[in-house]
Structure 1
Amino acid sequence: MIHSLKRLLIGRPLKSGELGEQKLNKKKALAILSSDALSSVAYGPEQILIVLVTISAAAFWYSIPIALGVLVLLTALILSYRQIIFAYPHGGGAYVVSKNNLGVNPGLIAGGSLLVDYILTVAVSVSAGTDAITSAFPALHPYNVEIAIVFVILLTILNLRGVTESASVLAYPVYLFVFALFILIGAGIYNILTGHVSPDLHTPVGTPVAGISLFILLRAFASGSSALTGVEAISNAIPNFKNPAPNNAAKTLIAMGTLLAILFTGIVFLAYYYGIIPNAEVTVVSQIAEETFGRNFMYYFIQGTTALILILAANTGYTAFPLLAVNLAKDKFIPRMFTVRGDRLGYSNGIIILSILSIILIIAFKGQTEHLIPLYAVGVFIPFTLSQTGMMVKWLREKPAGWMPKFIINTTGAVICFIVTIIFFLTKFGQVWSILVFLPIIILLFHQIRKHYDAVGDQLRISTCEPAVPIEGNVIIVPVAGITHVVENSLNYAKSLSPDQIIAVYISFEREDERKFEEKWKKWQPDVRIVTLQSHYRSIINPLTKFVDTVEKKARESNYKVTVVIPQFIPKKGWHNILHNQSSLLIRAFLLYRRNVIITTVPYHLKK
């Protein structure tokens, strides 16, 4: 039943040779990898206004120069990541760039930050999409968390079906969203040009505003820069592109940057001209759409596509997180299970872990997007800064032909990203302090995992490990619970290994049972030694493990090994297991970590 459900939800397994068919063309890649960056248009401009409104609505005209500053940073990031794509065509993005040019620890800071960022990508995107839905249908507002969790589960199933299939589904909502926003921006500008929007709704650009300061403007700029999260995803996911992968990735990056610049600028301008004031219950895009079209079909079309892309923007995390995890796992900094491909050739373990952690975040923050965005932005601007700095070091070290313009681009990006990161820490410390605690812990964890893998490798390597001690013989212990076919099957197996060194062990709770069992055993298996142990406290494990330890100590002196052969019957139907004591599992669990004891389970399959 479970197998059938898995096939229904995920689909048939794909052969390893079909991996090439799972590569993305530019159109699908733009949808699946740009959805995070493009979707941030729905909340990035709003974050600027949330800061400016603390002064007054008269300060909203500052959103225009702030938006221009964000575009400068966007340009620097796009040009920089285009250089990273060609310099590191095998993917890895900020992690690989930082590790190769700045050292292991900066690389781990970048990698750890990005892992957190992709978890937050899912949590923020789904939470923001849920906000868009509940803005249109206020009655659903109390169920934000539950709705968000359902969407995460659906996205997880979609991604477990494979990259190509998820991209095919995601392409339509993403391009519909872009189309809807172009209509909204075009209609809004048309209304402005035709005089349908009163100029009294906004303060003219250049109007003096009391209380404004450079600190406030920088804080608004940093908040607006949250719209740039997701820009790095394409450089991480180069292996997912069809050949020539670097060229296709670079073209997709430029297309994403162009669309993001147009949509972000358009929304900021309309929000300013319409005099939109941030509202906890209604998003800025929702207010602009209502002012432009009223509550008609176009309003719900824009809200619907916005909600869709905000939710599906989480797919950037589902694409980039597993690939980043693969790079870290190959370097032995996280478990190797992240390098294993699933039935549909995707990195299923990374997808599942990402969804679980995202759901935990959504529940912890109660689906409130505004509490997640600062942490989300810091999580991405730290690797932004490190990757730009890493590229600066690369150009200074290698000095290839035409390196100076590249160095200037990366220097500009590094300086701005560093300023944004510092501003976030200064202005939103209460919301982002946890990353200062998390990063040292995760870096320590990375090093401990690497230390473990290195230690395991040293111990397993033939050239370095201790020479194996020759085994002179084998003592076999068979725990028995009665005289049955299960025990007979296990004894026959034990006799095939070492017919002269078999000890059957019976644990009794009553003296009378012990005597009766010994009599029956001598008639049934007279050639097999039986040892009966009485358990005064009705425990099977304690007397058995003490006996095994005693035998093992004596056997070690003669270079003998102790093998415990555990009889176990297997019911025909899985659910029958709950009707039986799982003594064999408990015995195996308790003996597994005995250094010189070998555990063997001999199954006996029931027929009905």
Structure 2
Amino acid sequence: MRSEELGETLLTKRLALPIFASDPLSSVAYATQEILLVLTLGGLAYLHFTPWIAASVVALMTVVVLSYRQVVHAYPSGGGSYEVASTNLGPSAGLVVAASLMVDYVMTVAVSVASGVDNIISALPALVDYRVPMALVFVALLTAMNLRGVRESGHMFAAPTYLFIGGVLIMVATGLLRYVLGDAPVSESAAYGIRPEAGESDLMGLALVMLVLRAFSSGCTALTGVEAISNGVPAFRRPKSKNAATTLAAMGLIAITMFVGVTTLALIAKVHITDNACRLTGLGGDCEGHTQRTVIAQVAAAVFGGDSVGFYFIQAATALVLILAANTAYNGFPLLTSILAQHRYLPHQLHNRGDRLAFSNGILALAVVAGLLLWGFKANVTSLIHLYILGVFTSFTLSQSGMVRHWNRELRTETDLVVRRRHHLARTINATGAVVTGLVLAIVLATKFTQGAWLAVLAAGVLWLLMRAVRRHYDSVAAELEVTDPHSELAPPSRVFAIVLVSTPHKPTLRALAYARAFRPYQLEALTVAVDPEALADLQHKWQEYDIQVPLKVISSPYREITRPVVLYVRSIRRAGPRDVVAVFIPEYVVGHWWENALHNQSALWLKSRLLFTPGVMVISVPWQLHSSRHANHPAVRAPGAVRRGEPAPPGQSAGKPVGHDRPT
């Protein structure tokens, strides 16, 4: 796609919802489960805390959604939390947010794909041994789809997301209707008891508080991905801020409705789930071989029946949307890294768009790291979840704190009373968000640090240091390359001393000699390193036979080195004339197959790498196209007058006709 076609990739609200909100919408498939997994550590005694924990998660999501609506309106350029923190709290705080979000985006891919695979296994237990290969295949497919571009991936992801939303809402409505009519659904695990872990059966005081807080922090996974819309505002159609804010509100309302519905049905159906099937009492048989279904699978089976079409529809839609929920990260991560690269905190390549106008390098980097995580943690959701959500609440807290400063600055200059009232309300919302998310961050850090969250903290810290180092490098290079005296920089060298490296007097050597003579240097000589006496004698004989009017300089090398003698000789010329320039011409082969590179040009490559570090030395490659390269299928090579599909023809030319064929004689 041409750069001018970027506007065609912008998203409507209908497409933006599944692209940017699939992560928080799909998290209802495992948020309830994570709450229950923690509470059942103490057996069944503490499940009565579930409604209160769920209510706290809902209140928190409401505050965060309202807070990010202010961010979308105030900062529509797409930086989201990073831009807010950088502008209002300083670059260091902005980098903390950026590092935290990058870690969280990677975890979004890993956790979403692993959870999707779990739901596939819940429906088809025979696939349990293929968990990791399935997860890696799904990451590869997501990567391929996103490399096609944002709009194309949006069309692919819209249907599964809306099917999941519709399926869950129908399941919730059906289950609640059955409960009201006196036919409450009962889960397959309702008859099982749960054996508490050692020391967890009779918790009191602080220990009980910590258990409840751990369950709450696990349930907060429902909030992951909420900030993605604020990062992706530039991808919306105009009016960008209004459309993004509307999409954010719709996402919050749908996610809260589904989370409350699934949690309510899980309690009504008495779903029991543990981190280890052997803790289930009354199971009978071999507990090691028992595969527990996910909470949403048990709820669907209780509402529709374990072998019904409704059950398999819910499982298929849940698995698909969980895998596609990683798309939130595939859109947020490349956008964020592109902004960071533009600000010189990451390599410039991450700011470049690919052929389909997607940030291809960021997409590939995300896929590689997420794939390594899935492989290292064996695609286990319980293991991965402890590394999750720490980053997102770090960005929540800092961005909301930054927004408070933003509104304070606006209020110092605003005189209109109506606008001031709006600013006061917005500041109150953001201040509440900062306090609440700050408390949640402390809870998450305290309850999850020793269980694996320390790894996420370490990764964010390393990223923060790396980004600062990259920025220092780019700043030092920019300062070094800045022109202070253009006249002195444009002054030509006193003389040009040309050297052509020679091994054999073949066609590439003669071409390099001819090319060097065309430069009309002050002095020209051919240089060879004497390693083999017979080869040297043959070279000198042919030099005279061909009557080459260029002096041949021979350097002896008793230790059979080539690179070192050439570099030392070139440096000696530089010392003799510091204001001279030495131009070194190196004949090289151009091959047509990748494997041929291993057979040619190795000495030339090593020589160039050494000579490039010598000041005042210009290294010039003189290519010789071998026969294989002339017949290679290079897509970049086009016949004269050829026009790509979708490209306008040059003036005076119709597409498919050479220039001049349609002119009158």
Shorter chain as normaliser: what TM range? over 0.9
Corresponding residue SS for 1:53: helix
CA distance in 1, matches of 2:606, 2:133: 38
1:283 pairs, out of 268, 276, 294, with 294
Q: Deviations over 1:40-73 (max 9, x none)?
A: 1111111111111112223212111111111111
Contact map agreement 1:25 1:241 (CA 8 A) in 2: yes
1:36 pairs, out of 6, 23, 28, with 23
Q: Deviations over 1:488-509 (max 9, x none)?
A: 1100000011355122122232
1:355 pairs, out of 340, 353, 367, with 367
1:498 aligns with 2:493: no
Following superposition, the deviation at residue 578 of structure 1 comes to 4.2
CA distance in 2, matches of 1:294, 1:32: 31
Partner of residue 470, structure 2? 449
CA distance in 1, matches of 2:603, 2:506: 16
Following superposition, the deviation at residue 466 of structure 1 comes to 10
CA distance in 2, matches of 1:35, 1:290: 24
1:397 aligns with 2:409: yes
Partner of residue 203, structure 2? 211
Q: Deviations over 1:90-141 (max 9, x none)?
A: 1111101111111111111011111111111111111111111122222222
Q: For residue 434 of structure 2, what is the amino acid of its counterpart?
A: A
Contact map agreement 1:48 1:220 (CA 8 A) in 2: yes
Gaps in structure 1 of 5+ consecutive residues? 1-13, 204-208
Q: For residue 615 of structure 2, what is the amino acid of its counterpart?
A: R
Partner of residue 77, structure 2? 90
CA distance in 2, matches of 1:466, 1:269: 77
2:232 pairs, out of 230, 234, 237, with 237
Partner of residue 429, structure 2? 409
Corresponding residue SS for 2:356: coil
1:296 aligns with 2:283: no
Corresponding residue SS for 2:473: helix
Contact map agreement 2:214 2:448 (CA 8 A) in 1: no
Contact map agreement 2:496 2:521 (CA 8 A) in 1: no
Partner of residue 631, structure 2? none
Q: For residue 532 of structure 2, what is the amino acid of its counterpart?
A: E
CA distance in 1, matches of 2:161, 2:547: 73
Partner of residue 496, structure 2? 474
Matches within 5 A, 1:404-443: 404-430=424-450, 431-443=452-464
Corresponding residue SS for 1:54: helix
Q: Deviations over 1:312-361 (max 9, x none)?
A: 00100111111111221222111111211110111111111111111122
Contact map agreement 2:377 2:383 (CA 8 A) in 1: yes
1:528 pairs, out of 544, 550, 557, with 550
Partner of residue 547, structure 1? 569
2:603 pairs, out of 583, 600, 606, with 583
Contact map agreement 2:12 2:236 (CA 8 A) in 1: yes
Between structures 1 and 2, the one with greater helix share: 1
Contact map agreement 1:555 1:562 (CA 8 A) in 2: no
Partner of residue 49, structure 1? 36
Say which is worse superposed, 416-425 or 104-113, in terms of deviation.
416-425
Following superposition, the deviation at residue 381 of structure 1 comes to 0.6
Contact map agreement 1:475 1:563 (CA 8 A) in 2: yes
1:106 aligns with 2:88: no
Corresponding residue SS for 2:615: coil
Contact map agreement 2:186 2:270 (CA 8 A) in 1: no
Corresponding residue SS for 1:276: coil
Q: For residue 80 of structure 1, what is the amino acid of its counterpart?
A: S
Contact map agreement 2:495 2:522 (CA 8 A) in 1: no
Contact map agreement 1:374 1:424 (CA 8 A) in 2: no
Corresponding residue pairs, total: 588
Partner of residue 349, structure 2? 337
2:582 pairs, out of 559, 562, 570, with 562
Contact map agreement 1:458 1:465 (CA 8 A) in 2: no
CA distance in 1, matches of 2:601, 2:87: 55
Contact map agreement 2:586 2:622 (CA 8 A) in 1: yes
Q: Deviations over 1:381-433 (max 9, x none)?
A: 10011111111222233225123322222222212211211112211112111
CA distance in 2, matches of 1:145, 1:465: 59
Q: For residue 239 of structure 1, what is the amino acid of its counterpart?
A: P
Say which is worse superposed, 219-228 or 512-521, in terms of deviation.
512-521
Partner of residue 325, structure 1? 337
Contact map agreement 2:10 2:236 (CA 8 A) in 1: yes
CA distance in 2, matches of 1:536, 1:154: 57
1:372 aligns with 2:384: yes
Following superposition, the deviation at residue 439 of structure 1 comes to 3.2
CA distance in 1, matches of 2:513, 2:66: 72
Q: Summarize the Cα distance change of 1:361–1:467 in structure 2 as closer, same or farther, 3 Å threshold.
A: farther
Q: Summarize the Cα distance change of 1:500–1:415 in structure 2 as closer, same or farther, 3 Å threshold.
A: closer
Partner of residue 7, structure 1? none
CA distance in 2, matches of 1:222, 1:129: 21
Following superposition, the deviation at residue 552 of structure 1 comes to 2.6
Corresponding residue SS for 1:593: coil
Say which is worse superposed, 58-67 or 24-33, in terms of deviation.
58-67
Partner of residue 62, structure 1? 49
Q: Deviations over 1:530-581 (max 9, x none)?
A: 122333343322222222222232232xx11111101012235555444435
Partner of residue 116, structure 1? 103
Corresponding residue SS for 1:476: strand
1:178 aligns with 2:189: no
CA distance in 1, matches of 2:456, 2:321: 27
Identical aligned residues as a percent: 40
Q: For residue 145 of structure 1, what is the amino acid of its counterpart?
A: V
Partner of residue 624, structure 2? 604
Q: For residue 255 of structure 2, what is the amino acid of its counterpart?
A: L
Gaps in structure 2 of 5+ consecutive residues? 193-200, 276-291, 415-419, 629-665
Q: For residue 424 of structure 2, what is the amino acid of its counterpart?
A: M
Contact map agreement 1:129 1:306 (CA 8 A) in 2: yes
CA distance in 1, matches of 2:433, 2:89: 17
CA RMSD of aligned residues (A): 2.1
Partner of residue 226, structure 1? 221
Corresponding residue SS for 2:388: helix
Partner of residue 266, structure 1? 261
With structure 2 as the length reference, what TM-score do the two structures score? 0.85
Corresponding residue SS for 1:384: helix
